[in-house]
Chain A
Amino acid sequence: MPEMNATATTLPPISLWRRGKNAVVTGAAVGAVIVVLAPLVAIFGYLVYKGIGSINWAFLTQIPAGPGESGGGMANAIAGSCLILAIGSVMGVPIGIGAGIYLAEYGRNRFGDVIRFTADVLNGVPSIVVGIVAYAIVVVTQGHFSALAGGCALAIMMIPTITRTTEEMLLLVPNVVREAAYGLGVSRWRTTLSITLRTATSGVITGVMLAFARVAGETAPLLFTTLGNQYWNWKLNEPTAALSLQVFSYAISPYEEWHRQAWAGALILIVLIVAAVCAVRIAASRGTLKGAN
């Protein structure tokens, strides 16, 4: 066995050149973070600046006023957005997670590769195209625009993101954890649901929230699926207002008042998305144990 030399070699002190390099690279990394954060802060700041003035009780509780009239609000659009997103999530999340489970636990074959490829392509399909598909499948067959059709379009957009992140997160769970469950005589499907998926929960939730946040602000897939509505509607089968649609139609309108309301609507939309993501995060972390990883 080779023995360690007892007399340690003295290393030269760290040179000015190396310390300089260290400072430059650290500075570059900090700079990159600032570049990433700046647009976010700028967008949010500008939205607050332009929109906060128009947010009041009426804006949050009333339906839109007629053209040229002042006042009115976007309450029906806020509710409509929540409704459409709920429909999209109810359809998209289980299918996405289910497909992700299949890919990670059973999909090491040709069929799995086909699904993976399909999901990646679907991820790149422009949202307006997804809207057309939902229009052709749901709106045309039903004969009218509806929240359901919009929900379908959003679900189609959520599924590939959720599927791929769920797969990645499940594959990160070490195989020894699965083996531990098999060794206890736990069946494969039970292991997948109660052990593997549970171990990967926080990652899977991140994927779901990513997909949710991505579709929450979508306008294009809703244009000819939910259509928009100037009045209250709670029926899944009727045209429904949505914040993004309302912002769009107000922003291209000729009225100053509507422009201001469009800014306020955009601000509310962002706040709602952030609030939803935070709420899910907090709810998910409440059950976490000390020292769990």
Chain B
Amino acid sequence: MGVGIQVEKLNAYFGKTQALHDINITMAANQCTAVIGPSGCGKSTFVRCLNRMHETVPDARATGRVRIGELDVYNGTSAVAIRRRIGMVFQKPNPFPTMSIYDNVAAGLKLNGFHERKKLDEIVERSLQLSALWNEVKDHLKKKSGASLSGGQQQRLCIARALAVQPEVLLMDEPCSALDPISTGKIEELIFQLKERFTIVIVTHNMQQASRVAEFTGFFLLGELIEFDKTTKIFTTPSDKRTEDYITGRFG
């Protein structure tokens, strides 16, 4: 089951540059929240703060409070433990190039010391079915490299890989920006199904995509959260002038 996310006074920095200013946001469990805004507004930094990927960049740091379910992300838990519970899908598909399809999906479990063959087989199959890739790859799971798949298949492989560790939250950082419309459609369908099990946060440049998949939408501008509301509200009657300018294409 998914869990809710509460963010309080989140500030993020790259060296001396502040990338996020006092972000406060509450996301409900088992919902999909879209994060939109022009390039460089801090969308990616925001989701990367949720699973502490932000701090893997040299000189980057974040302050504030993030709670994911009962978990206090910045207090008392190691970053590694947090990332096991919060899955992430990146902008560019990034399968492990030297690993087979099977090993790619099993990687998160195997590298964390889980080696029961039968259980692994089960989890790999279930994850690939969830990400709608099973039928396309089931005949050469262990023979083909993850890198041999097409871009859209690679992205679904990366989703399966994230699902295999059974996270409670799934963060997606522009998961469709490198994909064609057909693959994009498949991934959006997937998001609909995954919502039943996970809380999803998706960063997107595509406003139609936000309105298709997300119940809630947050609009970021210059490192600030300008508006956060129901998606229908944001796209029909936004309360902030800047949001309206952005979604009507007047800037950004």
Residues of A within 8 A of B (CB): 108, 174, 176-177, 179-187, 190-191, 194-195, 198-199, 201, 288-293
Q: How far is the CA of A21 from the CA of B223 in the complex (A)?
A: 54
- How does the 8 Å CB contact mask read for B71-104 relative to A, with 1 for contact and 0 for none? 0000000001111110110101011111110000
Q: Does B131 contact A (CB under 8 A)?
A: no
A-B complex: 4 closest residue pairs judged by Cβ atoms? A291-B148, A185-B84, A184-B108, A292-B145
Establish whether residues A183 and B53, one from each chain, have CB atoms under 8 Å apart when the complex forms. Answer: yes
Residues of B within 8 A of A (CB): 51, 53, 56, 58, 80-85, 87-88, 90, 92, 94-100, 107-108, 111-112, 140, 143-145, 147-149, 158, 161-162, 165
* Known contacts A289-B145, A291-B144, A292-B147; A183/B90 CB under 8 A: yes
Establish whether residues B145 and A185, one from each chain, have CB atoms under 8 Å apart when the complex forms. Answer: no
- Residues of chain B contacted by A182 (CB below 8 angstroms): 53, 56, 83
* Known contacts A184-B165, A186-B80, A289-B145; A179/B111 CB under 8 A: no
Establish whether residues A177 and B94, one from each chain, have CB atoms under 8 Å apart when the complex forms. Answer: yes
* Known contacts A184-B108, A186-B112; A198/B80 CB under 8 A: no
The main secondary structure of chain B at its interface with chain A is mixed
Establish whether residues A184 and B83, one from each chain, have CB atoms under 8 Å apart when the complex forms. Answer: yes
Establish whether residues B97 and A183, one from each chain, have CB atoms under 8 Å apart when the complex forms. Answer: no
- Residues of chain A contacted by B87 (CB below 8 angstroms): 183-184
Q: A177, A183, A184, A293 — which one has the most chain B CB atoms within 10 A of its CB?
A: A183
* In the complex, number of A-B residue pairs with CB atoms less than 8 Å apart: 95
The residue from A108, A186, A291 contacting B147, defined by CB atoms under 8 A apart? A291
Establish whether residues B111 and A290, one from each chain, have CB atoms under 8 Å apart when the complex forms. Answer: no
* Known contacts A183-B51, A185-B84; A293/B97 CB under 8 A: yes
Taking the closest CB of chain B, its distance from the CB of A157, in whole angstroms, is: 30
The residue from A174, A185, A199, A201 contacting B112, defined by CB atoms under 8 A apart? A185
Q: B51, B83, B90, B111 — which one has the most chain A CB atoms within 10 A of its CB?
A: B111
The residue from A181, A201, A289 contacting B111, defined by CB atoms under 8 A apart? A181
Closest B residue to A291 by CB, please name it.
B148
Taking the closest CB of chain A, its distance from the CB of B28, in whole angstroms, is: 23
Taking the closest CB of chain B, its distance from the CB of A217, in whole angstroms, is: 32
Q: How far is the CA of A108 from the CA of B98 in the complex (A)?
A: 26
Closest A residue to B144 by CB, please name it.
A290
Establish whether residues A293 and B147, one from each chain, have CB atoms under 8 Å apart when the complex forms. Answer: yes
Taking the closest CB of chain B, its distance from the CB of A36, in whole angstroms, is: 31
Establish whether residues B97 and A179, one from each chain, have CB atoms under 8 Å apart when the complex forms. Answer: no
